[in-house]
Amino acid sequence: MGQLGNLFQILGLVSGFAAFGMYVYAMQTQNKSTAKTADMIMIGQLVAFSLASCVLIYALATGYFKMEYVAQYTDLKLPFIYKISGWWAGQAGSLLFWGWLVAVFAVIEIFRTRNYDTKYRSTVLAVSALTSTFFLILTIFVTNPFKELDFFPADGMGMNPLLQNPGMLYHPPTLFLGYVGYTITVGHAFAALFNRDSSSNWFVDTRKWTIITWVFLTIGIVLGGEWAYVELGWGGYWAWDPVENASLLPWLTSTALLHSGMVFERRNKLKIWTHMLALISFQLCLFGTFITRSGVLDSVHSFAKSSLGYFFLAFIVITSAVFLYYLFKMIDELKDKDEHQFSFLSRDGMFFLANWFFLGLTIVIGIGTMMPIISGLILPDKITVGIPYFNKVSAPFFVLILLASGIAPLLGHGKAETKDLVKKFAPSVLAMIAAVAALVVTGHTQPLPILLTGFTTFSLVAILVSVITNVKKGGVKVLVNNRRYYGGLIIHLGVVMMAYGIIASSFYNDKKDVTVAPGESFEFSGYTLKVGELAAEERANYVGVYAPVTVFKNGKELMTLAPERRFYEKNEQAFAEVAISSKLHGDLYLILASYSKTENFVGIQAVFQPFIAWVWIGCIVMVIGGLYGATGGKKKNA
């Protein structure tokens, strides 16, 4: 079976090289028949990719343990759905999955751009063909999912218990969809440079691609946070882990790309910014894979050290060099000619500032993430920075971004008059002052969350004022006629919701560790928690031990939660399975920290996370806003 999978991989590799070569030839000659032949070969690569993937999925599903990858990530008792998710659970399989997605996106683009100029579309598709083929090089020559063992094991090693969570089914695929989509965006950005086209046509053409890609990346990042929250058993959702950071970096630059592209489209400015942000977003997606797969940084997500990192670095350096060569060739045409007319009291000016805020945040997070590598090059011992560094350096940028997201909707694209600004911003400033005063009066003393709450409230009211003002002027129909603008406002509203959830859950959470005998109760955060007798239950591939905890409030029984510890057959370590009661005002989060039947005690860690549900709700609102905005037309002002 492994040989069959390898055969399909090699066919895909040959197809990829042939398609890339023919697209490059078509870029030079504009020969339509060559480009059409390349299209057919590219479709053939997708077929080969798909067949290879089917072989791997079949091997995973049927327990073909002679294949090393199958033996590493599955076993006989692993639930079927997790066997299938083994496709992207390991290093080799996830690279095959990534390459397959690039090939799928490329074929979609083949049909979408079938009537485009031959030279332009051949350039776009050459980028996709090169990228998909690069992943096949990795899975054939570096980390092959179809490698077979010299013997046939009776059973596999099983999947890491932390991956046996529903999050495994949707978090990696959505994140990969977010990563892969930027292959198309950067392909169009490069095609514009190769064709010496300084107009915004490439951005306009790929705007929906980029938004939908951004939506998937947003979903993937937040689902990863939600997975960590329910699975890792520490009550948080973001730990500034290197791999978490690696997914956040392209999100930040692609968010800047979407704003920069709007100025490019409307005002023919920020052309270099927009091209560079397309390149950086694409390369940061590969950079994230480099960090995850090379093992150069310690992370709960990372795989064993391998030579993959050198391949990624080579690909990133070479493709960036080619992109920058063509960008510098037409740098004079891309420079903004009327830079002195750029007003910071306009929406365009705020978008320009936002570019710097997002880029600055990307740089400080990137430096902190790469600090072990950077310091290891110049110092005898590696330096690692932790959560305090990231919180300290990122907070000012988040404040500035929150402010910009509130100010921008109230500004027009032209320069605003001072008296108009005072009138527009008065409600937001008053609301900000009221929010700060309310927190101080109710006994809150930490300056940072008070400040963040004030700016978040400023942004919330600014969004509402913008909507109400425009509806008063143009009626409710403006919400439909200008979907791009209101889609953006919905996204900003989602960001505000998330900000409230993050501030509350980060600064005002409550925690308590107790050890009690079964039948005893303890008080926590306004609740009375009564711990019951320990119980055990045997499942397909683990035994779970849980402690039922009955929750009372004001003497009334509300529910029974059952925090658990699981003992998997393939692992000696026990894994915590938390119990959560989620409400809009906060989550009651229980962890079975310890227990002993012989000594008759149960250790419970209780956490109350205020308003954390708004982090997930905010994400949903952002996704709705992104999809709504993607349905909008071109160049309509608020």
Check whether 555 has a pLDDT greater than 50.
yes
Q: 116 in a domain, yes or no?
A: yes
Give the single-character DSSP code of 417.
Answer: P
Write the CA distances from 208 to 279, 322, 334, 410, 415, integer angstroms: 17, 26, 23, 25, 28
Q: 493 in a domain, yes or no?
A: no
Q: Residue 474 has what pLDDT?
A: 85
d(CA 290, CA 287): 5
Check whether 233 has a pLDDT greater than 70.
no
Q: Could you tell me which of 284, 266, 283, 263 has the C-alpha nearest to residue 274? A: 263
Task: Please give the residue that has the higher pLDDT: either 78 or 380.
Answer: 78
Assess contact for 455 and 425: CB atoms under 8 A. no
Check whether 118 has a pLDDT greater than 90.
yes
Task: Please give the residue that has the higher pLDDT: either 566 or 338.
Answer: 566
pLDDT in tens, 157-201: 888 888 888 888 888 899 999 999 999 999 999 999 999 999 999
For 298-322, what is the mean pLDDT? 78
For 598-626, what is the mean pLDDT? 93
Q: 273 in a domain, yes or no?
A: yes
Q: 167 in a domain, yes or no?
A: yes
d(CA 331, CA 30): 25
Write the CA distances from 346 to 203, 237, 353, integer angstroms: 22, 36, 11
Q: Residue 9 has what pLDDT?
A: 95
Write the CA distances from 188 to 118, 131, 355, integer angstroms: 13, 14, 21
* Dihedral Cα 43, 45, 48, 54, nearest 10 deg: -80
Q: 198 in a domain, yes or no?
A: yes
Q: Residue 54 has what pLDDT?
A: 96
For 123-136, what is the mean pLDDT? 96
pLDDT in tens, 10-38: 999 999 999 999 999 999 998 999 999 99
pLDDT in tens, 95-112: 999 999 999 999 999 999
Q: Residue 376 has what pLDDT?
A: 79
For 420-447, what is the mean pLDDT? 90
d(CA 334, CA 194): 13
Claim: this prediction has a pTM higher than 0.75: yes
Write the CA distances from 557 to 518, 530, 610, integer angstroms: 18, 10, 21
Chain centre distance of CA 506: 20
Q: Residue 424 has what pLDDT?
A: 81
* Pair (371, 515) in one structural domain: no
Q: Would you tell me how many other CB atoms lie within 10 Å of the CB of residue 603?
A: 16
Using DSSP's 3-state secondary structure scheme, residue 302 falls into: coil
Check whether 638 has a pLDDT greater than 50.
no
Torsional sign, CA 357, 360, 364, 365: positive
Write the CA distances from 406 to 425, 426, 427, 436, 459, integer angstroms: 9, 12, 12, 17, 4
Task: Please give the residue that has the higher pLDDT: either 305 or 439.
Answer: 439
The number of distinct structural domains making up the chain is 2
- Domain limits at 81? 1-324+344-377
* Pair (373, 515) in one structural domain: no
Q: Residue 1 has what pLDDT?
A: 85
For 532-553, what is the mean pLDDT? 90
Give the helix ranges, DSSP H, for 330-382: 331-334, 347-378
What mean pLDDT value characterizes the chain?
A: 89
Give the single-character DSSP code of 155.
Answer: S
Q: 472 in a domain, yes or no?
A: no
Q: Residue 83 has what pLDDT?
A: 92
Q: 515 in a domain, yes or no?
A: yes
Q: Residue 289 has what pLDDT?
A: 76
d(CA 360, CA 245): 14
For 382-403, what is the mean pLDDT? 87
**For the chain, what percent of residues have pLDDT higher than 90?**
60
For 40-51, what is the mean pLDDT? 96
pLDDT in tens, 58-101: 999 999 999 999 999 999 989 899 999 999 888 899 999 999 99
Q: 505 in a domain, yes or no?
A: no
